Amino acid sequence: MSQTFRNCPGCQSMILSDTDECPQCGHAFFQRRGTDAQPASAVVRRTTNEVRVGCPHCGEMVRAGLVRCWNCNGFMKQEIAARYADLTTNPQKIIYSTIPLEERTDYLPARSGQAGDDSDGFTLADDVLSDSAMGSGFATPTTTTGAAAEFTMSPDKPQSTTPGGRPIIADAIENDLPAGEKSATADAKTATPSDKPADAGAAKSSANATDDLFSIALQEQREDRKRRNERQAERAKRQMLLPCKCGAWVRVTDEMAGKVVRCRQCRQPVQVPEIRRRQTEKKEESTVPKLEITWVNDVWFHVLTPTSVVLKPGSAAAQHTEADIAITDSGLHVIAFESGDKKKKSLLSFGSSDKKQDRTAHRKQVRDEIAAKGSLTGLTGCDVRSISSEDVRSLKLVQPIVKVQESMFAGVPIFGEGRIAVFLPIAREQGQQAYCSFTITAWRTLAARLKEQFSVELPTTDNGVPEGEKSDTHSCFINQSRVESIRNLVYYQQDSGFELELSGYRCTACGAVVSEEGRKKNKLGGANGSGIAKAKCPKCSGKMGEDKLFRLKKAGEKPAAE
């Protein structure tokens, strides 16, 4: 049983040929005999209340009349599936027919035309046209023996062979020849290579030329099909469906915007609405160059005269200006928020008595100004001192220095305990020198950028600056609990980025460790530990002293109960 399909002109759906009405859009192809025309209201009801059937493969509900299921792509009817499988598995067989003797022709001679010849390379022999009937056509050859022999011996194209190894067409030609010509054909098959006709090369070149023309034609056909598909895809992108009152869908393009078209089913006019395209505003690209800056915050900028420095711990700590350091590809830039020559009360007032809040607002204003200008020059209320990338190598560590003889200040921490100080190669007048001191957090940020961007590494680790947080674990003398103590405590006490928590006490006389819980249990130094310095050690009965142990408070950890 053969099945025929066709496309619905309304919605382009594939439906069976015996379908009266399209189940997708309701388009009626023809009316059955003896029935009246279906009213428009019935069509609307038919499209509204669609008839659906279950797919025999996946069970999905599919509109009645469709060829395949939209979910599993299976055929809805068994006979259609069987017919499709039969067509794909059993292709049409090739039937070989015997050419009559009078219609057999010899191979075509090679083209002998020259370049620029108007005859397109074809040359007709004198005996091709018959003298008796010039307009009747070409003259038939006198014998076909050479044709049969040449046809069977031509190696241009492979031929189908019989089980015996002989070509099928050659056997058919030989069977139709007379007895005298069969022997001639057999002699031609057994001939030596020297007996082949001289025009075999011409026949081969002619066959190659035919193959070239055929390949060119196929390529042009593929290109035409590709261009046609591209045009159809472009047209489909510009198409849209409009609903009609009768329930059908009208396919229109954007070129029909504002026009009136007619529905193919009910012939009623349908107004195509105006299509407003979304206009994208092109943002003007900013011409301000963007600076890649790494910031080091909360830096102390010092301007000192080395001959007038008092060698006392923290003597130069008060003579500082709060600053930030901007690290760019061109070098280091020290942005001091106050003048480095003498301290002023305030350079920029934001209407607040909180100095920290004013500094935060000023810092934000300066960075916004840098982002708008794309430069570090001409900043409001700031003193910018720049160090080029070549002069960055002249940076020198001045605090801390383990070897006193190599220290500029005899190993005295004049910039404050727990701070790292660096000499800056900035030219100053009257023998003054510029320095910057950092907390442990700010220094680690600066050291990482100096090593990565400028290949400069100062010997801070060799002089006692910790690279990471390391702790010692002790045992409490009272309750044998673990007491954790951070190393290099002074660096973390001066840095607001770390939160410390009291963990215990160490006796200055015997070195015994008492945890905070053990101290509270035995009430050493009172209830809050204010008298721990004069309290007696539970081990040596000497004075405990004020050697406190601290540990870093972990994130999310609750503080100890007072």
CA–CA distance, 360 with 423 (Å, rounded to integer) = 26
For residues 422 and 171, the model is more confident at 422
Handedness of CA 189, 191, 194, 196 (dihedral sign): negative
Distance set, CA 222 to CA 212, 213, 225, 331, 371 (Å): 15, 14, 5, 62, 57
Handedness of CA 129, 131, 133, 135 (dihedral sign): positive
Cis amide leading into 559 (omega within 30): no
Closest CA to 453 of 299, 288, 325: 325
Closest CA to 447 of 223, 497, 439: 439
The tens digit of pLDDT for each residue in 438-448 reads 999 999 999 99
Give residue for tokens 């030609």.
173
Give residue for tokens 């003048």.
339
CA–CA distance, 246 with 27 (Å, rounded to integer) = 10
Q: Which CATH class is domain 294-463?
A: mainly beta
Residues 6+ apart with CB under 8 A from 384: 333, 334, 335, 336, 376, 377
- Residue 190 has a pLDDT of 46
- Neighbouring C-beta atoms of residue 542, cutoff 10 Å: 14
DSSP code at position 377: S
Which tokens in the block code for residue 193? Answer: 């290579």
Give the mean pLDDT of 487-491. 90
- Neighbouring C-beta atoms of residue 209, cutoff 10 Å: 14
* pTM listed for this prediction: 0.47
DSSP labels for 25-83?
A: T--B--PPTT-PPPPHHHHHHHHHS--EEE-TTT--EEETTBSB-TTT--BSSHHHHHH
- Residue 280 has a pLDDT of 61
Residues 6+ apart with CB under 8 A from 435: 301, 302, 303, 304, 316, 398, 415, 421, 422, 423, 424
Closest CA to 543 of 502, 516, 510, 497: 510
Closest CA to 380 of 399, 390, 366: 366
pLDDT over 50 at 346, yes or no: no
**Across the chain, how many H-helices and E-strands are there?**
10, 20
- Residue 26 has a pLDDT of 77
CA–CA distance, 35 with 543 (Å, rounded to integer) = 119
Closest CA to 546 of 509, 491, 500, 499: 509
The tens digit of pLDDT for each residue in 401-425 reads 998 888 888 889 999 999 999 999 9
DSSP labels for 198-228?
A: TTHHHHHHHHHHHHHHHHHHHHHHHHHHHHH
- Helical ranges in 154-283 per DSSP H: 168-176, 179-189, 200-237
- At residue 32 the predicted structure's pLDDT band, cuts being 50, 70 and 90, is low
Q: What is the largest CA-CA distance in the chain?
A: 150
- The domain limits of the chain are 101-207, 294-463, 471-552
Q: Is the CB of residue 501 less than 8 Å from the CB of residue 551?
A: yes
Please give the helix or strand (H or E) that residue 493 lies within, else none.
Answer: helix 489-493
Give the mean pLDDT of 135-151. 42
In this structure, which amino acid lies at residue 317?
A: A
Burial of 38 per CB tally in 10 Å (0-12, 13-18, 19+): middle
Distance set, CA 244 to CA 261, 264, 268 (Å): 11, 10, 8
For residues 126 and 226, the model is more confident at 226
- For residue 328, the SS3 value is strand
Residues 6+ apart with CB under 8 A from 271: 260
For residues 203 and 501, the model is more confident at 501
Average of per-residue pLDDT values in the chain: 75
Distance from chain centroid for Cα 168: 60
pLDDT over 70 at 254, yes or no: yes
In this structure, which amino acid lies at residue 75?
A: F
